[in-house]
Amino acid sequence: MAETKITCPHCLNEELCFEEKIDIENFSSYICFNCGFMSNTAYKRDSDALSKMESSSSELMKEIKFFDYEREIFWFPTILNMGKFGMIYPEGTKNNWMWKLAEVRKLTPEEQKDPQYEGHEHTLDIEGAQEYGQHEFIDACRKMGIVKEL
């Protein structure tokens, strides 16, 4: 596997966008930590991988995806689920959306008795999610604790 910096086709950032090449079938995955969009070489027009991605995507994700003419693939906003660190996801409407960071919080003793949490001690704090602008994905990642200063 080799990771290289590329110019993001969405926000044109040259420092925070990466391509990771995997030695199998010329496969690459992409993520931009500036705008928060991601893709891979399987997301080609009319592909099974693209259909599968779209079927599991929110309406917002489908509305704001974009086509990369150089690589001939679609890019989507990232949903970054990092387990105990929390989750970063897009929320809003096509013309007014943002990144949200939902961190993991400890359940109160009362909440732990609630059947919906059966036996769990922690939950994803969706109600208390912090908001970040469209080009503040990296800030949400820093707050989550998953990136160091580059």
pLDDT tens, the chain, 150 aa long:
678 999 999 999 999 999 999 877 789 999 999 999 999 999 999 999 999 999 999 999 999 999 999 999 999 999 999 989 999 999 999 999 999 999 999 988 888 888 888 888 888 899 999 999 998 999 999 999 887 665
SS3 122: strand
Res 29: pLDDT: 96
Task: Give the pLDDT confidence score for residue 1 in this predicted structure.
Answer: 64
Determine the Cα–Cα distance for residues 104 and 123; give it in Å rounded to an integer: 5
Cα–chain-centroid distance for residue 25? 24
What pLDDT is stored for residue 149 in this prediction?
Answer: 61
- pLDDT confidence of residue 147: 79
Contact indicator for 1, 21 with CB cutoff of 8 Å? yes
Going from the C-alpha of 133 to that of each of 29, 46, 89, 109, the distances in angstroms are: 24, 31, 12, 34
Residue 111: how many CA atoms within 13 Å on its side-chain side?
11
Q: Which amino acid, 69? A: Y
The b/e string for 30-59 (b: 16+ C-beta within 10 A; e otherwise) is bbbbbbbbbbbbbbeeeeeebeebeeeeee
